[in-house]
Amino acid sequence: MKLSRIIEGLEASTTVAIADKARKLISEGQDVIDLNIGDPELATPAHICAAASAAMQAGRTHYVTSQGILELRTAVAKKLKEENEITADPVDEILITPGGKTALFIALITCLNPGDEVLYFEPAWVSFKPMIEMVGAIPVGVSLDYRKDFGIDVEEIRSKVTKRTKAIIINSPNNPTGKVISATQLKFLSQLIREKELFMISDEVYERIAFAGSRFISPASLPDLAGLVLTVNGFSKSYAMAGWRLGYLAGPRSVMKEAVKVAQHSFTCVAPFIQLGGLAALENSQDFLYVMIQNYQERRNYMVNALNKIKGVECSDTDGTFFLFPRVEYQSMKSEELAKYLLDKALVVTTPGIAFGSAGEYHLRISLTAEMAVLKQAVARIEAALY
């Protein structure tokens, strides 16, 4: 029996595959340091867990509206207004989803027709290209140059726009580079989107993990982009809730009316007790965030300095996220071979840059979701393995 040609043609997730291999080595008793996966090492704050538990005990375990409970949508709308300067009506412009990844997929399947082209910037999160392909659209990667600090090239992106281009995906702060799209770059993109009548899908799952000196701007807050932006966000990174699978999609009423249909015919609804955990996250003290961001910034500062001391390693500063994306020149090894070498030789798990597109070749993604002592040990192992 023949299966879907689209699904058969998809590449498996490199990050998940490497994580599975690392778990296998750990289960065998190997002293592995895992710097691969994007899951905060901290426990979900106790008050969030308590709220979800209390909701279950109170019987909040049945179906709810596919849009998400109104209490959470209202809290999300308040957050978007106060922190991102985005106005979204909680009644019909916000959809609660099982994770930010589902929110992104719903945005794509709602806006695109088979054959439409979608632009995205490489290095790019590993699921952008496969998701675009799964809905029958055509992914068009726009390569960014590490020598230009992965900045957006105006002429390069214009050259990629055709009559079939329907949308542009941006991810800021970016996974894997940690870069934030500047106000100048965003202004250019907004002009292009208006001129070509495109949608923008803005993946903002790391927006709260932005370091001192960087300025994150939500595209939907710009008047020039009113009605053209779908904002994707979630709770996984900011509140150490990766396993909870809780996210949201916000956008213009005309689009969200159709997006809800996708929810109705796929996941039906997010479990209400999980949503109430998210509500507790938004409505209570945000001190957890500040401590977490400070920790990541301290780890970033140490790791950038330590990695740059290793011969053949070039690691630029980042604006946010908990990732670094150093370029590593070692015996002409490409990134996949190098990642396997470091796993075998140093028992350190990294992600090969090629997983994020051709612009990521010769780079490795390194996660900062480990204690400082573990990161220091990892750097020592990497240096010993390379020289």
**CATH code, domain with 365:** 3.90.1150.10
| Residues 381, 242 share a domain | no
Give the integer Cα–Cα distance in Å for 143 and 271.
39
The reply to whether 173 falls in a domain is yes
User: How confident is the model over 255-270, as a mean pLDDT?
Assistant: 98
Report pTM. Answer: 0.94
In a domain, 243, yes or no: yes
Predicted local distance difference test score (pLDDT) of residue 72: 98
Both 76 and 164 in one domain: the answer is yes
pLDDT band at 116 (very low <50, low <70, confident <90, very high): very high
What whole-number distance in Å separates Cα of residue 282 and Cα of residue 53?
Answer: 17
The two structure tokens encoding residue 169 = 């995906």
Q: 283, 313, 342: which is the final residue of a domain?
A: 283
CA gap 323, 326 in Å, rounded = 10
- The pLDDT of residue 36 is 87
Confidence (pLDDT) at 236: 96
Same domain, 236 and 371: no
- The model's pLDDT over 316-349, given as tens digits with 9 standing for 90+, comes to 999 999 999 999 999 999 999 999 899 989 999 9
Task: Note whether 164 and 199 are same-domain residues.
Answer: yes
Provide the pLDDT for residue 309.
97
pLDDT band per the 50, 70, 90 thresholds, residue 26: confident
Pairing mode, if any, of strands 199-203 and 364-367? unpaired
60: exposed, middle or buried (Cβ count in 10 Å: 0-12, 13-18, 19+): middle
Same domain assignment for residues 213 and 112 = yes
283, 314, 347 - which closes a domain: 283
How many domains does one find in the chain? 2
- State the virtual CA torsion across 10, 15, 17, 19 in degrees, nearest 10: -160
In the beta sheet, which residues pair with residue 229?
200
Same domain (yes/no): 278, 142: yes
d(CA 157, CA 138): 16
Is the per-residue pLDDT at 90 higher than 90? yes
Q: Report strand pairing: 199-203 vs 327-328.
A: unpaired
> Does residue 1 carry a pLDDT above 90?
no
Do 36 and 110 belong to one domain? no
Cβ-proximal residues to 201 (8 Å cutoff; 6+ apart), any chain: 104, 107, 108, 111, 167, 168, 169, 170, 229, 230, 232
* Whether residue 194 sits in one domain with residue 118: yes
For residues 237 and 340, state if they share a domain.
no
Peptide bond into 123 cis (omega under 30): yes
Three-state DSSP class for 316? coil
Question: In this model, does residue 109 exceed pLDDT 80?
Answer: yes
**Cα separation, 182 vs 185, whole angstroms:** 5
Is the pLDDT assigned to residue 248 strictly greater than 80? yes
Q: Contact 308/302 with Cβ under 8 angstroms?
A: no
Q: Mean pLDDT score of the chain, rounded to an integer?
A: 95
Same structural domain for residues 98 and 172? yes
Q: Where do we find the tokens 């991810």?
A: 171
Give the pLDDT score at 183: 93
Q: Give residue 258's pLDDT.
A: 98
pLDDT per residue as tens digits for the range 166-189: 999 999 999 999 999 999 999 999
CA nearest neighbour of 38 among 321, 339, 345, 381: 321
Q: What is the pLDDT of residue 9?
A: 87
Residue-wise pLDDT tens digits, 55-76: 999 999 999 999 999 999 999 9
- What pLDDT does residue 25 have? 85
Q: Which residue has the higher pLDDT, 367 or 155?
A: 367
What ranges make up the beta strands (E) of the chain? 33-34, 94-97, 117-122, 138-143, 165-171, 199-203, 229-234, 247-250, 313-314, 323-324, 327-328, 348-349, 351-352, 364-367
Containing 41, the helix (H) or strand (E) segment is: none
Cα-atom radius of gyration of the chain, to the nearest Å? Answer: 21
C-alpha–C-alpha distance, residues 347 and 323, integer Å: 19
For residue 144, the domain's CATH number is: 3.40.640.10
Which DSSP letter does residue 83 get? Answer: I
CB neighbourhood size of 182 (10 A) = 16
Segment 279-298, tens digit of pLDDT: 999 999 999 899 999 999 99
Percent of the chain with pLDDT over 90: 87
pLDDT tens for residues 186-219? Answer: 999 999 999 999 999 999 999 999 998 899 999 9
What is the span of the domain harbouring residue 139? 62-283
